[in-house]
Structure 1
Amino acid sequence: MTNVLVVKANNRPDGISTKMYNTFMAEAATVEGLNVTTFDVFEENLAYFGQELFNAFGKLQNGEALTALEQASVDSMNKSRAALDAADVVVFAFPLWNLTIPAALQSFIDYTYSAGYSFKYNEQGQLVSLMTDKKYILLNARGGYYSTPEMAPMEMSVNYMNSVIGGVYGMQKVEEVIIEGHNANPAEAENIIATGLENVKAAAQKLATVTA
């Protein structure tokens, strides 16, 4: 059995990356040998990462009571890491918002991007990835065209996720599906989205050959 964690990072019901998530979930249900769960970063209501977490670490070591904000930060870290720990494959379904990822997804990354957890430093000071046994898939939607040489440097969602999940965490990428240009080219929007959703189905089917 392969444990698949789908990190849903769009709370807009009509969002294209929401459609990608729904399509992936429906197709994954047809693939044998998968245990698929969803971690909706909006519904989980993760606390923003900050000093509260570090304050909590110190207080817990000293047996002191935590404030509500400190406890919320600890809870956010624990549930984010527990979801990631249980996964063999992690699927991220997310949009490009304002050139980057949604803040709720950033919170999930902040709570799992940690020395000693997702990476470490060796004696030479070099970064060593600690999640090389896991794999990942990216499902991303963006209304404009960002794959052109002129626009690619401005795209900081897919590039960022690949740098973190593939680069720092060391997970192996199984597939990347991007739907783009549907807002910039409304005349072709229906075809762009339909083609992209077929690619999402194909990505889900690839999990049939992924072994935990």
Structure 2
Amino acid sequence: MNLLVVTANDRPSSQATSPKMYDAFMEELKQNDNVDVTVYDVYKEDTPYLGQDIFNAYMKLEGHEPLTESEDRLFTAQSKARDLFEKADTIAFVFPLWNLTIPAKLQTFVDYVFSAGFTFKYDTEGNMIQLMNDKKIILLNARGGVYSTKEMQPLEMAVNYMKTSFGGVMGMEIIDEVIIEGHNQDPTKSDDIIAEGLEKVKTVAKNLK
């Protein structure tokens, strides 16, 4: 299996939980000979925001015209993300809930691949056709509050967004999901909540084939 791990938190694991999840996942993967792993750290990669430059780049490339520096930078960044995504059988996202949603850097990665002509297209009647629905998705998320209750769940726009984008629109199968939540809301249980979640993360890595 070709596994792409997209990690999206530049805080140290001593201060944040999703980096702990990433560390546990990667450590367990070392014991799994069935998996070839590639890591894409959105905070270490050059990830300029998607905008008009990419459309300018496409048009210029079709006309064999030279790109500006900013157009070339964005086209190169998007191409790298797309190449890694396309080669992967499974993509694991490790990310926090920040201000009810995903980090902006992760949003940029999603923008690179969430694109007509790449992960989906429209037929002549306007129906959406999913182009990569054979890919598998793993979601590893940390959120300090509790958002799994009926009252709070509608406010959670990180895991919900990722599931809707990759599972719903792109038709990819969400094969595993581990959410560590509530460790900041109840500090007396923080260590136990995180430890239990990290064991689940290790199990996900161990079971990959």
TM-score by length of 1: 0.95
In 2, are the aligned partners of 1:118 and 1:168 still within 8 Å (CA)? no
Q: Where does structure 1 differ by over 3 angstroms across 4 or more consecutive aligned residues?
A: none
Task: Quote the Cα distance in structure 2 between the aligned partners of 1:139 and 1:19.
Answer: 11
Task: Quote the Cα distance in structure 1 between the aligned partners of 2:206 and 2:174.
Answer: 15
Map 1:83-94 onto structure 2 (within 5 A): 83-94=84-95
Task: Quote the Cα distance in structure 2 between the aligned partners of 1:7 and 1:39.
Answer: 5
Letter in 2 for 1:19: K
Task: Quote the Cα distance in structure 2 between the aligned partners of 1:126 and 1:60.
Answer: 28
The residue that corresponds to 1:189 in the other structure is 190
**Secondary structure class of the residue paired with 2:50:** coil
Task: Quote the Cα distance in structure 1 between the aligned partners of 2:169 and 2:30.
Answer: 30
Task: Quote the Cα distance in structure 2 between the aligned partners of 1:121 and 1:206.
Answer: 36
Task: Quote the Cα distance in structure 2 between the aligned partners of 1:54 and 1:192.
Answer: 45
**Secondary structure class of the residue paired with 1:179:** strand
- The Cα of 1:62 is off from its aligned counterpart by 2.2
| Higher mean C-alpha deviation, range 119-128 or range 40-49 | 119-128
Task: Quote the Cα distance in structure 2 between the aligned partners of 1:16 and 1:140.
Answer: 9
Task: Quote the Cα distance in structure 2 between the aligned partners of 1:164 and 1:32.
Answer: 30
Unaligned stretches of 5+ in structure 1? none
Task: Quote the Cα distance in structure 2 between the aligned partners of 1:157 and 1:126.
Answer: 27
* Correspondence 1:13 to 2:2: no
**Secondary structure class of the residue paired with 1:188:** helix
Unaligned stretches of 5+ in structure 2? none
* Correspondence 1:122 to 2:123: yes
The number of residue pairs the alignment matches comes to: 207
Task: Quote the Cα distance in structure 2 between the aligned partners of 1:63 and 1:79.
Answer: 21
CA RMSD of aligned residues (A): 1.0
Task: Quote the Cα distance in structure 2 between the aligned partners of 1:143 and 1:189.
Answer: 9
| Higher mean C-alpha deviation, range 166-175 or range 196-205 | 166-175
Task: Quote the Cα distance in structure 1 between the aligned partners of 2:156 and 2:24.
Answer: 24
Task: Quote the Cα distance in structure 2 between the aligned partners of 1:73 and 1:47.
Answer: 6
The residue that corresponds to 2:165 in the other structure is 164
Task: Quote the Cα distance in structure 1 between the aligned partners of 2:172 and 2:206.
Answer: 19
**Secondary structure class of the residue paired with 2:145:** coil
Letter in 1 for 2:90: V
The residue that corresponds to 2:132 in the other structure is 131
Taking only the aligned residue pairs, the percentage that are identical comes to 52
Q: Deviation digits for residues 66-103 of structure 1, max 9, x if unmatched? A: 22111111011100101101101100000001110011
